[in-house]
Amino acid sequence: MSTSVSPSANKGRPITPRRAALLASAGLGAVLIFAAPQWGPQPNLPALSSAAHAQNATRPAGFADIVEKVKPAVIGVRVKVNGAATTGSDSPFPPGSPMERFFRRFGPDGIPGMPDMPRGPRGRNFSMGQGSGFFISADGFAVTNNHVVDKADSVEVTTDDGKTYTAKVIGSDPKTDLALIKVDGRNDFPFARLADQQPRIGDWVLAVGNPFGLGGTVTAGIVSARGRDIGAGPYDDFLQIDAPVNKGNSGGPTFDVDGNVVGVNTAIFSPSGGSIGIAFAIPSDTVRTVISQLKDKGVVTRGWIGVQIQPVTDDIADSLGLKKSSGALVAEPQDNGPAAKAGVQSGDVIASVDGEPVKDARDLAKKISGMAPGSAVKLGVIRKGSEQTLTVTLGEFPRDQQQAARGGSDEGRRGQTDVPRLGLTLAPADNVAGAGAEGVVVTEVQEGSPAARNGFRTGDVILDVGGKTVSNPADVRNALSEAQSGGKRSVLMRVKSGNNTRFVAVPVNRG
């Protein structure tokens, strides 16, 4: 059975097994909370054998004490959005945001959380939706999901004692799906604290909230995994939990056994739209960094070095002569960007930031984005087998980066040459209209060939092979022959697709 990621919602059509989306703002408010278990055998019970006693000692007796402690900090968030009715192809999320990409990827059909659009006064359309949140200070600052309050004309919160207050949006960050809201008029709201450390895999967790409108529902589970990448964006680093959560959990906190917030609920993985024990929460360290900036400035600024990066696969590591497949491979430094000014070059592997090892490309993005623009950082770089340190002054991450369009043209091709061992037909770039003056253009890719399996497409431009620039198909052939003669199993090609550049490790045919 196929699975999908589905949003929380108040109402929604049944999800199809092949569809998925994030917990949506239309969900009824629900919150994840973890309770501290009480351990040990129950009193006044018959004596147990040592084996039975050991089994009983590892079983929690209840979570009531922690529920009483943290439940008052949890709030329901209700929003109203006025405007034109949406269609089946309209996304409820900001253009270019991680949530919008989820929506585009899986489609709108049957997504739980897509609100009905009733007719409002004078023919205007409006939608109502609910999510969750939690107070982080006594004066009414609260955290929820960006997709819960995005484009809201009005926001109301309901506290655990049933009182309703008007709230305003202080700021939001679509890239992490976090938002900060504020309720005025009181300075004695019960609030929750963010955890200083991430939980361990296997730690107990507890959910308290309003799934499907059933307020005050409590469910328990454990942390199933950490560091999950669900394809929402470059900063994916989710906690996975198995505490049953359903429609309505968006924006709710995940508490540890000490009553501290370890994460904020944002997505579930489900074939039906209901809980199957796989949910994702934004870690507390990300929440702390983002919310602090939203409180101070209303927006989030991120460090930026200006490079296109990709993971170091085993094949790429072998091609570069690296001992292990870790770090982030620089496909292309942006012209006049911070990295280029510091001397970072295409083909460099960024192995550390300020002395801390870089696991992969996603880890590098997270490290850099968490630093302030203007900061000076030291990048440990591996270049052609040797290590060096470069100092980069971070820029500010551009807020509106355009997506690269695929280049290439089918017209004006001449001088085409086949490369049978790869399944490619190539031509000099200056012979292909619109391809530029550098490199060799892919004019045809044989179906099922090594090139096709490595993602080559018509219109791609091969810039260099094995670290040497190429300007015609003969250069590509010679580079492949040299790699084969040198006993290499693969050769690294730098390939440009539209405005994006990447490295591809292509196997050398020894037959």
- pLDDT tens per residue across span 383-424: 988 999 999 999 988 765 432 222 333 333 344 556 656 778
- Residue 210's pLDDT is 66
Q: How confident is the model at residue 421, as a pLDDT?
A: 64
Q: Which of 80-94, 217-231, 322-336 has the lowest mean pLDDT?
A: 80-94
Q: Where does the pLDDT of residue 509 fall: very low under 50, low under 70, confident under 90, or very high at 90 and above?
A: low
Q: What single-letter amino acid sits at 332? A: E
Residue written as tokens 């009733």? 118
Mean pLDDT of 475-496: 81
| Residue 244 confidence class, pLDDT cut points 50, 70, 90 | confident
Q: Is the pLDDT of residue 42 over 50?
A: no
Q: What percentage of the chain exceeds 70 in pLDDT?
A: 70
CATH architecture of 303-396: Roll (2.30)
Q: Over the stretch 334-375, which tens digit does the pLDDT of each residue have?
A: 888 999 999 999 999 999 999 999 998 888 988 998 888 999
The HSE-up count of residue 187 (CA atoms within 13 Å, CB side) is: 0
Can you give the residue ranges of every domain in the chain?
1-41+56-300, 303-396, 417-507
pLDDT for 314 beyond 50: yes
Q: Which of 29-38, 47-56, 148-157 has the lowest mean pLDDT?
A: 29-38
Residue 137 confidence (pLDDT) above 50: yes
Report the candidate in 246, 229, 220, 171 with the shortest Cα–Cα distance to residue 15.
Answer: 246
**The two domains 1-41+56-300 and 303-396 share their CATH topology (first three levels equal):** no
Alpha-carbon gap, residue 343 to 334, rounded angstroms = 11
* pLDDT value, residue 155: 93
Catalytic, out of 250, 319, 352, 497: 250
Q: Are 497 and 466 in contact (CB under 8 A)?
A: no
- What pLDDT score does 269 carry? 80
Longest dimension (CA), the chain: 91
What confidence score (pLDDT) does residue 50 get? 53
Domain 417-507 in this protein, CATH class: mainly beta
Q: What's the pLDDT score for residue 83?
A: 53
Rounded-to-10 torsion of CA 209, 211, 215, 217: -60
Marked catalytic residue, from 132, 147, 256, 348: 147
DSSP state of 410: S
Active-site residue 250, yes or no? yes
DSSP state of 41: P
Report the range of poorest mean pLDDT among 323-327, 408-412, 466-470: 408-412
Respond yes or no: is residue 464 known to be catalytic.
Answer: no
Highest average pLDDT, of 21-35, 85-99, 139-153, comes from: 139-153
Mean pLDDT (the chain) is 75
Kindly state the average pLDDT of the residues 186-203: 94
Is a pLDDT exceeding 90 seen at residue 292?
yes
The model's pTM: 0.62
Protein fold of 1-41+56-300: Thrombin, subunit H (2.40.10)
Q: What is the pLDDT of residues 99-132, one digit of tens each?
A: 454 444 433 333 333 333 333 444 445 566 778 8
Pick the residue with more confidence: 323 or 234?
Answer: 323
pLDDT-based confidence at residue 216 (cuts at 50, 70, 90): low
Of the pLDDT bands very low, low, confident and very high (cuts 50, 70, 90), residue 265 is confident
Averaged over 29-55, what is the pLDDT?
43
User: Sorting pLDDT into bands at 50, 70 and 90, what band is 27?
Assistant: very low
**Given this model, what pLDDT does residue 92 score?**
47
Q: Residue 332 has what pLDDT? A: 86
pLDDT at 458: 82
Question: Does pLDDT of 38 surpass 90?
Answer: no
Top mean-pLDDT range of 19-23, 224-228, 427-431: 224-228
Residue 280's contacts (CB-CB under 8 Å, 6 or more residues apart) are 228, 230, 238, 239, 240, 241, 265, 266, 267, 268, 269
pLDDT at 275 over 70: yes
CA distance 99 to 146: 10
pLDDT attached to residue 18? 36
Whether the per-residue pLDDT at 233 is higher than 80: the answer is no
Per the annotation, the verdict on 188 as an active-site residue is no
pLDDT for 220: 83
More confident: 46 or 264: 264
Whether the pLDDT of residue 184 is over 90: the answer is: yes
- 6, 132, 150, 177: which one is catalytic? 177
Asked if residue 183 has pLDDT above 90, the reply is yes
CB neighbours of 79 closer than 8 A, spacing ≥ 6?
25, 128, 129, 130, 131, 148, 149, 152, 153, 154, 155, 156
Q: What is the pLDDT of residue 420?
A: 57
